[in-house]
Amino acid sequence: MRSRIVWKSSYAFYLAAIGSSFGLGNLWRFPYVVGSNGGGGFVLMYVVLALLVGLPVLIAELMLGQSTQRSSTMAFAKSGSRNRFSHYFIWRSFGWLANAAVVLLISYYAVISGWVFFFFLRFLGGVFEFEPFRLSRTFSFLMENGWLQFGLCVAHLTLAGSIVSKGFREGLERWVGFIMPVFGVLLLYLVVQAVSLPGAGDALRFIFYPKFDNLSWESLIQVIGHVFFTLSIGMATMTVYGSYLREDVNIPAAGFRVTLLDISISLCSGMIIFPIVYTAGHIPGADPSILFKTVPLLFDNLRIGKFFGVAFFLCLYLAALGATIGLLEAGVCDLVDRRSTSRKSATWKLVALLSALAFFPAFSSSLFKTVQYHGMSLLQILDSLLINAVLPLVGLGVALTIGFGDDDAMRFKYFRDLDSVRPRWIYRQWLFILKYVVPVLIVSAMILRWIS
Ligand code: PHE
């Protein structure tokens, strides 16, 4: 077997993990689910569950990769076979489910990345004055035009594929290291602008004052699914990134930092979007267009708004590209590990398959407009399948595989930090949460959703 690539440094790994977790989940999906689940109560649950469920599972998923040095299917199978309740097929199927999640997610993630790129082009056109940016037309134009969405999505997948096929690490490290700080500063500036809008008071109350009467039982699984989505858990990416780690990298600290950063970015995004919504006088709605219909309004208010528009959508596009690269890498690495095919051929086969699948969500607002389920478009149906079923199941699989699988000494070895000895009681807490709290929460959330 060929020797496995490893991250050049733990910093490189951090950047890649951050690049994968930071993406459309924070800026596109977070405001949309917060809006549709009634605001503050949901936000509070999100923060608590990101720390209580997301972080422990993220640590476990990285450990799954690091301890087996394999990608999803083989990692689950290898770790599961060390298990007392060893049943090769069961553990392996969690790996397959993680692969299914990758395929499902990229098929519509790439479509939305295409929307972001289109907005970037429109703002760029505005800067050069050859095309004034007209917000009201832009989104509807895009929605009516399935071929345009499909073309943008294929271009996006091709770009991500060309980076992954070359061995993605150097490029990724360089530009995640550059983009993150730039986007961070831009977001903070937009937060300051947004919270000085007239509707900001009501908006902040909406997102930070926890009101639970708007929550349904379904919200619990929605939060858990969203936490997994935004932290890139359950989609094999973190297993694969963990498998490129040397043994001396400190997994719990990495997981903690990635989780905190991810929560902060999501909260910033809420603080930008909801003041605009309240100022424009709309009640927060529940659809995937919220980001695209609000943020450009803020740029209209700013003196050099066009430039902000270009910078914002460019940064967001690059973040979406970083996340897509993480997803693609997971699929490619699994093909390479299992079939020993070359990275190049695995990448292009996968890109071709994903482009074909993306046809359906790309046309969900035109050709397949009539395909609806409980008022959800095809794109939303795919998203809901992923969030409500696939991700919670893979998350459960990760928790059970690591929690009940490896023996204590082995687990502790990967939990511990070589420089500073992590106290054993932190390890014990983590293991308890992983073995009991996470499975009970996920299973009850799934049951409650079905019976309510
Ligand atoms: N976490 C990414 C986001 O928030 C999505 C993603 C999931 C990326 C899984 C890679 C792997 O947008």
pLDDT at 295: 85
Contact of 20 with 164, CB cutoff 8 Å: no
Ligand 1 atom having least distance to the Cα of 330: 11
State whether the beta carbon of 31 lies less than 6 angstroms from ligand 1: no
Mutate which of 46, 230, 387 for ligand 1? The one with the most ligand atoms within 8 Å of its CB, which is 230
Ligand 1, atom 9: closest residue by C-alpha: 232
- Tell me if 235 CB under 6 Å of ligand 1: yes
- Give the pTM: 0.93
| 279 CB near ligand 1 (under 6 Å) | no
Which atom of ligand 1 sits closest to the CA of residue 234? Answer: 9
Please choose, from the candidates 111, 29, 91, 139, the residue with its C-alpha nearest in 3D space to the C-alpha of residue 397: 91
pLDDT attached to residue 417: 62
How far is ligand 1, taken at its centre, from the CA of residue 173, in Å? 17
CA 364 to chain centre: 21
The DSSP 8-state label assigned to residue 377 in this structure reads: -
Average pLDDT of the residues in 229-251: 87
Rounded-to-10 torsion of CA 201, 206, 211, 215: 170
Q: What pLDDT sits at residue 202? A: 93
73 — pLDDT class (breaks 50, 70, 90): confident
How crowded is residue 133: how many other Cβ atoms within 10 Å of its Cβ? 20
Q: How confident is the model at residue 223 (pLDDT cuts 50, 70, 90)?
A: very high
| Residue 19 near ligand 1, beta carbon < 6 Å | no
> According to the model, what pLDDT value does residue 265 have?
93
Q: Measured from the CB, is residue 238 less than 6 Å from ligand 1?
A: no
User: pLDDT tens digit string along 5-21?
Assistant: 677 777 778 888 888 89
Residue to mutate, 32, 229, 325, ligand 1, most ligand atoms under 8 Å from C-beta: 229
Rounded to an integer, what distance in angstroms lies between the CA atom of residue 11 and that of residue 415?
18
pLDDT at residue number 102 = 94
pLDDT at 2: 47
Which amino acid would we find at residue 240?
A: V
How close is the Cα of 312 to the center of ligand 1, in Å?
19
Ligand 1 centroid vs 130 CA: distance in angstroms? 35
- Please name the residue whose Cα sits nearest to atom 11 of ligand 1: 232
Please tell me if the CB atom of residue 377 comes closer than 6 angstroms to any atom of ligand 1.
Answer: no
Q: How far is the CA of 340 from the centre of ligand 1 (A)?
A: 26
The model's pLDDT over 329-356, given as tens digits with 9 standing for 90+, comes to: 889 988 988 877 888 999 999 999 999 9
Ligand 1 pocket, 230 CB below 6 A?
yes
Of the ranges 175-189, 327-341, 434-448, the best mean pLDDT one: 434-448
77-111 tens-digit pLDDT: 777 766 666 566 777 888 899 999 999 999 999 99
Mean per-residue pLDDT over the chain, rounded:
87
Residue 144: band (very low, low, confident or very high) from pLDDT cuts 50, 70, 90: very high
Ligand 1 center–CA 174 separation, angstroms:
19
Distance 329 CA to ligand 1 centre (A): 12
Helix axis angle, 135-144 to 88-127, nearest 10°: 130
Q: Give pLDDT tens digits for 398-416.
A: 999 888 877 777 788 778 6
Q: Residue 173: left if φ>0, alpha if ψ -120 to 50, beta else—which one?
A: alpha
